Structure 1
């Protein structure tokens, strides 16, 4: 009788260990991950000044058509290097690196081009 009870307990314990060791497998093909990767754009542009809408730069395309790009955001670090709120950089040429997210243009790098 004791052997029968001991055998039943051993089988029960072994089955608990066996069943608890099963892992749930997730098929990674069923998981959809969306990454919002923002690519940066680089343009050469002339600074037109700052107003309530942002920092305005004029860009000339390969067909000599001019357009204005307004940048709503720029880092404080870049503003320390280039004080775009002053008039001293109006008319100067820059290489502007920027990204656009949710219709907001953000300058990520700015380099003044030499004047000829």
Structure 2
């Protein structure tokens, strides 16, 4: 019975983390609008994030104009979720943000 619970736990843990990717990048902050945090990467592509963690929010108030134009090193996650129409959507969250010196 104990081994069955361990196998079940591992299986459920694997399932819940399925669809989550983690990445890092360097980008310039462009601003916050309509709930989206926008950055431009080194290749000129616009990258948008849906969320920031509380830890990031406590370090940088990205809803203000104070950090627009500043370069950041961004660590982020991208989760696959289903919306109310059972369509798969990507939700991106900034989990760590550093401003190079």
**TM-score (norm. length: structure 2):** 0.71
Q: Distance in 2 between matches of 1:48 and 1:99?
A: 19
The question of whether the paired residues in 2 share the 8 Å contact of 1:49 and 1:84 is answered with: yes
**Aligned-partner SS, 1:55:** strand
Counterpart in 2 of 1:51? 33
Residue 53 (structure 2) pairs with residue 75 (structure 1): yes
Which is bigger in relative contact order (C-alpha 8 A, separation at least 6)? 2
Q: Which runs of 4+ in 1 moved over 6 A?
A: none
Counterpart in 1 of 2:98? 111
Residue 74 (structure 2) pairs with residue 96 (structure 1): yes
Kindly report which structure 2 residues correspond to 1:14-25, keeping only aligned pairs within 5 A, or say none: none
List alignment gaps of at least 5 residues for structure 1.
1-22, 27-32
List alignment gaps of at least 5 residues for structure 2.
5-10, 81-89
Aligned pair count reads 84
Q: Counting strand residues as a fraction of each chain, which structure ranks higher?
A: 2
**TM-score (norm. length: structure 1):** 0.62
Map Cα deviations across residues 62-107 of structure 1 (whole Å, 9 max, x no partner): xxx3111111010122112101011010000000000100201100
